[in-house]
A and B are shown apart, each in its own frame.
Chain A
Amino acid sequence: MPVTPKFPVVLQVRDLACDRDGRRLFEGLDFSLCTGTAIQIKGSNGAGKTTLLRTLIGTASDFRGEILWCGSPFPGALPVLRESLLYIGHQGGVRDSLTPLENLIWYGATRESALWALDCVDLSGFEGSLCHGLSAGENRRVALARLFLPQAPSLWILDEPFTALDAVGVATLEQQMAAHLHSGGSILLTSHQPLSLGRLASVDLSDFMVDEPLVAMEAEHVFS
């Protein structure tokens, strides 16, 4: 892990274990995310990549261990974390009865910045057409346009951002990610695809899989 004092740690995970439906997905997970760096979460299907991301944004609450945002622990730190969070999940959060422009305005963008962001993802000219008329890739780009808004939040958590994108789209997104890291942001993403980013670390969830089928009886076991 590239932990150098030059880059302060923003998000720290200590001895994290996540359960789903009473099944332990992984345990003993440790990593730190610093400003200006990206971490790629790897792992086979069902390894718990999405669950991990959803835990880190506070949507999934079934975890043991410690998650720290700028030094203060979850869940108390969640409201502060959300101040500087930009999360894009499997579902992009794009409403198909709205136009791309309206979708971005719903996310708090101004009209000018929304148009600029749509231009960046090559959707200029489509800003006024309803999203259910657009293709899957175009809808994905509407969701990703949030990354191109000026004043983007500092922490990006992205679940498979490259799905449904063409080669040009992937390149533009990588360029934007690099720019984000360069200006002091940090990125946590899941992807099966090799990335060419400057300061990139990776965490493979397969290394933290559990083989013990039975859960030992511990004090923490009281609470779900």
Chain B
Amino acid sequence: MAWQWFHRLGSPRWFYQKTGAWLPWLALASAVLLIVGSIWGLGFAPEDAKQGNSYRIIFVHVPAAFLALAGYYLMAVSGAIGLIWKMKLAFAVMRAAAPIGAVLTFIALFTGAIWGKPTWGAYWVWDARITSMLILLFLYIGVMALSQAVNREQVADRACALLALVGTVNIPIIYKSVDWWFTLHQPATLRLTEASSIDPSMFYPLLTVIIGFYCMYAWTLLTHTRTLLLRREIRTKWVQQVLTEGK
């Protein structure tokens, strides 16, 4: 049946065994890509004409911001899969994605603030993009707080999934409204135009780092999901087997 793979993918045991084999490769790939990308970006890419060396923080800032947003959608989509097909694995992925996404959002905000000091002359500017990221952080925190507050795991799973979905519907509206608000209150500081034509000498190292971040994200997400699965399925035979046999 065509649904067989979907069904198999949803099996916690199958997921645990398969991903166990992927983990080392993901770790290796992210380590290599991140090291190569960082050395390339920090050491060999040319200086920016306007911003000098300070622009180099984009090698952390941009991938973190990318993944923070993508991570929210991943969380919402797995929550939706969980709600619709009642798949336990999807809920575990959703729960694992929340703290990782929150940390990435925080990193994006933090590096953005550091970058803001030499660029705008202030650590915090109520720029449209920064404000949207801040609200994204609140959305993440909301999901995490709800999952902590609801005692029963199954109820918490579904409640968080619904909240994540509601957030997903809201993200574009929030982004658009914040953007509109920003153009209304545009402060007298330099508005950083997004590097529309980034030079290849900067773009390739950035791309390397972004792919490296994606690999690292996948590795973290898988590891966290596997831990969650073990804890949730502790009463099943396969977990007992895994625990007694070591691997």
Q: Which residues of A contact B (CB under 8 A)?
A: 21-22, 62, 213-217, 219, 221-224
28 A–B pairs (Cβ distance < 8 Å), ordered by A:
A21-B152, A21-B153, A22-B153, A22-B235, A213-B235, A214-B235, A214-B236, A214-B240, A215-B235, A215-B236, A216-B237, A217-B13, A217-B236, A217-B237, A217-B238, A219-B7, A219-B11, A221-B12, A222-B87, A222-B88, A222-B89, A223-B10, A223-B87, A223-B88, A224-B82, A224-B86, A224-B87, A224-B91
As a 0/1 sequence over residues 57 to 101 of chain B, the CB contacts with chain A under 8 angstroms (1 = contact) are: 000000000000000000000000010011111010000000000
- In contact, A214 and B88 (Cβ under 8 angstroms): no
The 3 A-B pairs of least Cβ separation, nearest first, read A222-B10, A224-B88, A223-B86
CA distance A153 to B138 in the complex (A): 47
Please give me the residue from chain B that is nearest to A216 by CB atom. Answer: B237
* Most chain B CB inside 10 Å of its own CB: which residue of A214, A216, A221, A224: A224
Instruction: Determine if B154 is an interface residue (Cβ-Cβ < 8 Å).
Output: yes
Beyond A215-B237, A217-B236, A223-B85, 8 extra complex contacts between A and B, CB < 8 Å: A21-B153, A215-B235, A221-B11, A221-B236, A222-B10, A222-B11, A223-B88, A224-B154
| Cβ–Cβ < 8 Å partners of A217 in chain B | 13, 236-238
Q: Which residues of B contact A (CB under 8 A)?
A: 7, 10-13, 82, 85-89, 91, 152-154, 157, 232, 235-238, 240
- In contact, A62 and B154 (Cβ under 8 angstroms): yes
Please give me the residue from chain B that is nearest to A23 by CB atom. Answer: B235
CA distance A164 to B169 in the complex (A): 48
For the complex formed, measure the closest distance between the CB of A219 and the CB atoms of chain B, giving whole angstroms.
Answer: 7
| Cβ–Cβ < 8 Å partners of B11 in chain A | 219, 221-222
For the complex formed, measure the closest distance between the CB of A200 and the CB atoms of chain B, giving whole angstroms.
Answer: 34
For the complex formed, measure the closest distance between the CB of B68 and the CB atoms of chain A, giving whole angstroms.
Answer: 28
For the complex formed, measure the closest distance between the CB of A73 and the CB atoms of chain B, giving whole angstroms.
Answer: 16
Please give me the residue from chain B that is nearest to A24 by CB atom. Answer: B235
* Most chain A CB inside 10 Å of its own CB: which residue of B89, B91, B235: B235
For the complex formed, measure the closest distance between the CB of A130 and the CB atoms of chain B, giving whole angstroms.
Answer: 33
